[in-house]
Amino acid sequence: MDYRSSKSTDTITGPRSEDVLPHTAAAAVKVVIVGGFGVGKTTMVGSVSEIRPLTTEETMTEAGIGVDDNYGSESKTATTVAMDFGRISISEELVLYLFGTPGQERFWFLWNGLFEGALGAVVLIDTRRLEVSFDVIGRLEERGVPFVVAVNDFPDAPQHPVETLRKALDLDLAVPIMACDARRRESSRDVLMTLMRYLHSLTVARV
Amino acid sequence: MTPPQGPLPGPSNGEPPSRRDAPARDAPAPGAPPQRERRSPDNPERLYILTGEDSERAPSTLVTLIVADGEAAPTAQPEHAAVLRLCRTPLSVAELSAYIALPFSVVTVVLTELLAAELVQARAPIVRSALPDRSLLEAVMHGLQKL
């Protein structure tokens, strides 16, 4: 296959020396940041990542509608799905990857294993455009992916009480909602901590 | 999954109406946030990764860590040589894809060949299971606290 976007393999530069993982790195986990276009997902990835955020992509084809559509293969359209991601070294052995994208989230959910393998998700919302996050919340619910909701604190965004937002988003009572500033490392870190505590509480609840 | 809820008030006083009462988009109250409507669990869309039906059995996920276990032969394909060079220390498939600037599925094909030739090792990710591992979550929280 000819990939015009591929660099000559001679000129590939790998991670900067400070971005290299130790040999002891034995396993990775991932968290996905979703929320619709322009809510600050890439900003959040960048603010907590220890590496400069990178981009990976996948080429997918959208099949025609209908199970028996064997004749229409020429009508399939190829879609390139790009994802930005960052990394946090949790310990010498464990690495956390954060995926978030400026692009079309609809296609992420068709990327086999992307959400299934995630520990959980952060839904980032902008109260000026709450409706852009409706679709992803529905898709997470369908997939059974646990998530927390983080309200990215844009200066001119309307303020709603948490319970108003919970109702508007039709969230279960247990789903945490918190304010955050995705540009700030500590704030984004706190969102991830809230997600982990929530996931932890789910394990306790099931015992 | 949804806890039963008591009767909710209809739209009034700037309150967003509940999904169960009336769709908000028909008559949004002034100043209220728009109302999401929960969807029924059907997912008619289907997409396929270009490499086809093997994706379920692919040896790698985005966050599988790859470590080189050997050197590239002088005759090795450039992509193979590049992966072996980049993976002298552990690197996720996502990072490989980013640095080599090839789609994930193409990198997966290269890795399948290198795994078969025993030139790389794959360290599988820990994925969310039906009952998440509490000690894993505690380890992540501990690591995040150090940030």
Average pLDDT, stretch B101-105? 91
What is the secondary structure of A21-78 as a DSSP string?
PPTT--EEEEEEEE-STTSSHHHHHHHH-SS--EEEEEEEEEPPSSTT--S-GGG-EE
Q: Give the distance from residue B9's alpha carbon to the nearest chain A alpha carbon, in angstroms.
A: 11
Residue B65 forms beta bridges with which residues? B92, B123
Domain span including residue B75: 56-123
Stretch among A36-40, B26-30, B61-65 having the lowest mean pLDDT: B26-30
Bin B101: left if φ > 0, else alpha if -120 < ψ < 50, else beta: left
pLDDT tens-digit profile of A177-192? 999 999 999 999 999 9
pLDDT band (50, 70, 90) for residue A70: very low
Element (H, E) at A197: helix A185-206
CATH of domain A32-49+100-206: 3.40.50.300
**Is ipTM beyond 0.85?**
no
Q: Is residue B76 part of a domain?
A: yes
3-class secondary-structure state, position A2: coil
* Residue of A22, A94, A168 lying closest to B33 (CB–CB): A168
Give the β-pairing of A94-100 and A27-34: parallel
User: Which phi and psi angles does A147 have, rounded to 5°?
Assistant: -150, 160
Stretch among A156-160, B44-48, B124-128 having the lowest mean pLDDT: B44-48
Residue numbers in A near B133 (CB within 8 A): 203
User: Which phi and psi angles does A54 have, rounded to 5°?
Assistant: -110, 170
User: Which phi and psi angles does B91 have, rounded to 5°?
Assistant: -145, 135
Question: Both tokens of residue B52?
Answer: 């086809």
Please state the pTM of the whole predicted model. Answer: 0.79
Q: Give the distance from residue A84's alpha carbon to the nearest chain B alpha carbon, in angstroms.
A: 9
Q: A157 with A198: CB under 8 angstroms?
A: no
Q: Is residue B137 part of a domain?
A: no
* Residue of A91, A172, A199 lying closest to B132 (CB–CB): A199
Number of domains into which chain B is organized: 1
**pLDDT of B58 above 90:** no
Q: Give the distance from residue A63's alpha carbon to the nearest chain B alpha carbon, in angstroms.
A: 6
Distance CA A52, CA A181 (A): 19
Stretch among A8-17, A167-176, B26-35, B99-108 having the lowest mean pLDDT: B26-35
